[in-house]
Amino acid sequence: MNTKIALSLIALFAAGCGSSAEPEPPKAEPIVDAGPADTAPVSTRTLINRPLLAGAPQNLLLDITFRDQGWGHFTSFYDSASSQLNVQSRVASLAPAGLTAPIAVFKDPTADDARSKGMTSIASFLGGKGPFVARIWVSRSNAAGQPIELVEDPAVFRCAITTGGMPEGKAYDLARKDTKVLGDRTWVLFESTIEADLPGTAFFNLKFGRKGGGYMVSAPEVVASKLLPAGDTKASYEAPATARALLPEERDAIARYVKQPHRLGLPALPRFVPGKYVPID
C-alpha cells in the first residue's frame, strides 16, 4: 500500500515539472500589401508670422483700439454733421499688425459703392523733440463689406500728423510703404518720418473721403525715434515727410477735438484764437 502511494507521488511530481525545453515562439504571419489607401487630398495652409505686440511699447498714442472717444483717444465724426461717428472695433486673427491690435471699421450706414459721407478720426499725443515715426494699416471695403482696392487718391483716404496753432499749424502726410495680403483682404501700410520737432500737442489725423464703401484701420502708432533701441528700422525711414499747410478740414478737425472736456493727466492744448497762438498757462 505504501509502495503504491509512493509511486503515485513520484508520478505527480514528474508531471508537474514537465519538460525543460523552451517553447517555440509563434510564427509571424506574412503581411499582405493592400495597396495605397484612398485618402482625400490634403489642403495646404500658409503660416503667418507676426509679432506678439502690435507695435513699439514707446507708442505715444494713448489708445489704439478706437473703442473709446474723447480727449486723448481717437474721436471720430462726420464732416458735415455735429454728431460723432459710431466706430466698430473688433479683434481679428487676421489683423495686419497682430492679434493685439483691434481692427476699427469706419462706415457710413447710408453709403453705397459710389457715395458716402466724409468721415474724420483724430487723436492727440504729446510731441517734443523729433524725429518721429508714424504709421497705420488701412484697408478698403465696398458697401457690402467685401474687400476692394485702396486706390492712391487723397480724396479716398488721407492720413497725416498735424500740429495745432494759428497760423503756424503744419501737416505731414504719411506715405504708402508696404502692402500685406491676409485672407482675401489687402492691407496698405502708411508710414513716414517727421524730422521736425512737434512742440506741445500734435495730432494723428485720418480723413475718409466721400467715394463710397467703408474702411478698416489698425495699429496707429507714433514713436519718437530717440526712444527706440539702436538699430531699430523704424528710426530710419527713407522718405521723410515734407511739411505743408493745414487744410481747412484739418483745422476744423483740430478745433472740434479741442472742444472736448480735458482729462487729467493728458497734455493740454493751446487755446485757439483767430490769428494768434495762445498757450494755456
Mean pLDDT of 262-278: 45
Tell me which residue range forms the domain holding 173.
75-261
Separation between Cα atoms, residue 68 and residue 173, nearest integer Å: 25
Specify if 18 maps to a domain.
no
pLDDT (tens digit, 9 = 90+) per residue, 94-149? Answer: 888 887 789 999 999 999 999 999 999 999 999 889 899 999 999 999 999 999 99
Specify if 124 maps to a domain.
yes
Count Cβ atoms below 10 Å from residue 194 Cβ, excluding itself: 27
pLDDT (tens digit, 9 = 90+) per residue, 7-27? Answer: 555 555 555 555 555 667 666
Specify if 15 maps to a domain.
no
CA angle 194, 195, 196 (to 5 degrees): 95
Count Cβ atoms below 10 Å from residue 189 Cβ, excluding itself: 18
Residues 6+ apart with CB under 8 A from 46: none
- 3-state SS class at 187: strand
Domains of the chain: total:
1
Specify if 270 maps to a domain.
no
170 pLDDT higher than 60: yes
Written as one letter, the residue type at 74 is F
Which CATH number is 110's domain given?
2.60.120.1310
pLDDT score recorded for residue 272: 40
pLDDT score recorded for residue 39: 64
Specify if 48 maps to a domain.
no
Specify if 149 maps to a domain.
yes
pLDDT score recorded for residue 275: 38
Q: What is the CA radius of gyration of the chain?
A: 35
Separation between Cα atoms, residue 128 and residue 58, nearest integer Å: 14
Beta pairing partners, 276: 273
280 pLDDT higher than 60: no
Specify if 31 maps to a domain.
no
For residue 116, what is the DSSP state? -
**pTM (2 decimals)?**
0.74
